[in-house]
Amino acid sequence: MKQLEQLDILEQRAVLVGVNLNQQQDFDYSMEELGNLAEACGVEVVGQLTQNMERVNKSHYIGTGKVEELSGLYKGLEANLVIFNDELSPSQLRNLESDLECKVIDRTILILDIFEKRAKTREAQLQVEVAQLQYMLPRLVGLRESLGRQGGGVGTKNRGAGETRLELDRRRIEEKITALNKELESLVFQRQTQRKQRKKNALPVVSLVGYTNAGKSTIMNAMIEKFGAAGGSGEKTVFEKDMLFATLETSVRNIQLEDNKSFLLTDTVGFVSKLPHHLVKAFRSTLEEVAEADLLIHVVDYANEKYGQLIQITENTLKDIGVTDIPTVFAYNKCDLAGHPIPKVQENSIYLAAKPRIGIDELVSLIRGSIFTDYVQCEMLIPYDRGQVVSYLNEHANIKSTEYENDGTRLALECREMDYDKYREYVIESK
Which amino acids are annotated as binding site for GTP, given as ranges?
A: 210-217, 267-270, 333-336
Q: Do 251 and 230 meet the contact criterion of CB atoms below 8 Å apart?
A: no
Cα 419 from Cα 431, distance rounded (Å): 15
Which residues carry a binding-site annotation?
210-217, 247, 267-270, 333-336
Partners of 256 in the β-ladder = 262
Q: Do 13 and 47 meet the contact criterion of CB atoms below 8 Å apart?
A: no
Cα 154 from Cα 146, distance rounded (Å): 11
DSSP secondary structure string for all residues of 254-304:
EEE-TTS-EEEEEE-PPB-TT--HHHHHHTHHHHHHHHT-SEEEEEEETTS
Nearest to 330 by CA among 319, 346, 342, 341: 346
In three-state secondary structure terms, 66 is helix
Cα 150 from Cα 384, distance rounded (Å): 79
Instruction: Encode burial over 96-117: b for 16+ CB neighbours within 10 A, e otherwise.
Output: bbebbebbbbbbbbbbbbbbbe
Could you tell me where the DSSP H helices lie in 102-252? 107-118, 122-136, 140-149, 161-167, 170-200, 216-227
Nearest to 355 by CA among 331, 373, 319: 331
Check residue 400 and report its DSSP letter: E
Cα 30 from Cα 42, distance rounded (Å): 19
Whether the link from the prior residue into 343 is cis, omega within 30° of 0, is yes
Contacts of 347 (CB under 8 A, 6+ apart): none
Which residues carry a binding-site annotation for Mg(2+)?
217, 247
